Structure 1
Amino acid sequence: MICYELPLNERIRMLLKLESLFNKIDFFSTQAHAFEHHAALVALFEILDVTSRADLKSDLLQELDKQRTMLRSLKNNPDVSEAALADLLQSIQTAFRGLLDIPGRIGGYLRDDEWLMSVKQRMSIPGGASEFDLPAYHYWLSATIEIRRADFDKWMTPLVSVRNGIQIILNMLRNSGRAFAYTAVQGVFQQTDLEYQAHLLRLQISDEILCIPEISANKYALNIRFVPWKSEQEQEVCRQDIPFELAFCSL
């Protein structure tokens, strides 16, 4: 199954972007080749651009506090595992305290690093990180794997609480939805009078179906049309009945 996620507000869209970028850094920074460490650094610079919003930290703190209050109300509920609830509350508390300890804007210490910012500025130019334009960066890429990985640890460690907070929120969001089976007749599915306004839609479809979903949704209606994954015509639709699963997720 392939899962497609559609964020339904800008806050969730940002969190999904950051989750993806953190995952890329995790993968590329643990590899050995200089090209892979270059890719990890590109993802780090993208995180800086996404987190340039001054209210991201307050958004995360607000949402974590909201979820903490909701979870505390579940204590002594016979249908809830006390051990699992305690672990989750502890994770939220740790991420909350870590976010509070971040001085100023998220990633401010990276923006204060002149060497990193000089590399970031050149990377915004196509081919701008060439060795003849950035000899200091070429020197870093030529350093030992241990040196480069130590630098990534130094750059990423202060962001751990940010990442943990994002992961807690997205995990709770994803787990809030229950998947139901539907069929897109002749490649088209519509639903009106939605029960509530969701924050995230999760659509799963078999990877054997050579179609991709185009989803548009608001608080009044949901429209899905499945199109060939390599479509030469803009309005082309997969003219077959397509089974899929859909979950509405909300915090």
Structure 2
Amino acid sequence: MIYEFPLTEGIRRFLRIEMLAEQSLVYIEQDSEYSTIAAVRALLDLVSLVSKNDTKIELIKQLDQVMLIESLSEADRLEANELKGILSRQSFRAYDAIKENVFLNTLRQRFVIVGGICAFDLPVLHNWLNMPFQTRKEHFYEWMAVIENVMNAVHFVLRCIRGSMVTEECSFKHGFYYRSVKWRAGLLRINMNDYNFFPEFSGNRHQLSIRLVEQSSPWDPPKQVDTDITLQVEICGA
């Protein structure tokens, strides 16, 4: 398991966008009404993040920073410039097809109510769910196409940031690590595959603390690891 910690608010949002996109795409490929509901719920959360104007601004800024990476290939540099141009030309009304869709807006309003999408509450949803699986998929991917430009840019930025990294050894005393930092990085990564505990991060580009925590089952309280250990931490986008 690789744990990632964003060092900026922009990267934090990109990671959330990436997670929601992966969730929705996994769910929509399963021929189940409940999976389709989960896919649409994730899609609506995704749209609320993607359609914010500062997401586009942050993406353009990150694409400019990516193009400054010395190790970036010429092909990636051209792609970054192309993505920046697409986003710069994109109208602020680009998401109207989703945001003004009556069906999706009805679902959005009912999703916030606990148990609010039963057939007696929302027959329009259950009528749609009763359509053939392939039809539901086609509708879903038509909605996803509206945010394709931003999704392509988010995936590209995160790929380049993860690919531009240096490794540093961090010594944990009794399961705790702290230091002041002056990184220009955007993301930290720790591979915990060889351990049965997990990291809890706190910090930003100026200070960082990591606490190693173990929990044998959900019924046991989590507790800090009481041992000294050295771990390799990947500093990405520096």
TM-score bin, normalised by smaller chain: 0.7 to 0.9
Letter in 1 for 2:14: L
Among 117, 129, 137, the alignment partner of 2:117 is 129
8 Å Cα contact 1:32/1:145 also seen in 2: yes
- The answer as to 2:203 corresponding to 1:217 is yes
Q: Which runs of 5+ in 2 are unaligned?
A: none
Distance 1:218-1:152 versus aligned 2 partners, 3 A rule: closer
* 3-state SS of 1:179 partner: strand
- The answer as to 2:170 corresponding to 1:182 is yes
| Identity among equivalent pairs (%) | 26
Q: Which runs of 5+ in 1 are unaligned?
A: 75-79
Q: Distance in 1 between matches of 2:207 and 2:87?
A: 37
Q: What CA RMSD, in Å, does the superposition of the two structures yield over aligned residues?
A: 2.4
Q: Distance in 2 between matches of 1:93 and 1:178?
A: 25
- 1:100-135 Cα deviation digits (max 9, x unpaired): 453215633211101110111101111111111110
8 Å Cα contact 1:205/1:243 also seen in 2: no
- 1:41-60 Cα deviation digits (max 9, x unpaired): 01111112223522221222
- The answer as to 2:113 corresponding to 1:113 is no
8 Å Cα contact 1:187/1:238 also seen in 2: yes
Range moving further from structure 2, 212-221 or 29-38:
212-221
8 Å Cα contact 1:57/1:105 also seen in 2: no
Question: What's 2:158 paired with?
Answer: 170
Q: TM-score, normalised by structure 1?
A: 0.83
8 Å Cα contact 2:198/2:213 also seen in 1: yes
Q: Distance in 2 between matches of 1:188 and 1:233?
A: 18
Distance 1:213-1:172 versus aligned 2 partners, 3 A rule: same
Q: Distance in 2 between matches of 1:122 and 1:38?
A: 12
**Structure 1 stretches of at least 4 aligned residues deviating more than 6 Å after TM superposition:** none
Letter in 1 for 2:199: P
Alignment of 1:70-149 (within 5 A): 70=68, 85-105=73-93, 107-149=95-137
Q: Distance in 2 between matches of 1:104 and 1:98?
A: 12
Range moving further from structure 2, 56-65 or 132-141:
56-65
* 3-state SS of 2:44 partner: helix
- The answer as to 2:140 corresponding to 1:152 is yes
Q: Distance in 2 between matches of 1:233 and 1:36?
A: 32
1:94 CA displacement: 3.9
Q: Distance in 1 between matches of 2:6 and 2:206?
A: 16
Q: Distance in 2 between matches of 1:63 and 1:218?
A: 17
Letter in 2 for 1:199: G
Give aligned pairs, total.
Answer: 236
Q: Distance in 1 between matches of 2:94 and 2:62?
A: 16
- The answer as to 2:6 corresponding to 1:7 is yes
Letter in 2 for 1:158: V
8 Å Cα contact 1:206/1:244 also seen in 2: no
Question: What's 1:238 paired with?
Answer: 225
1:31 CA displacement: 1.8
Among 197, 219, 228, the alignment partner of 2:214 is 228
Q: TM-score, normalised by structure 2?
A: 0.88
1:95 CA displacement: 2.5
Question: What's 2:17 paired with?
Answer: 18
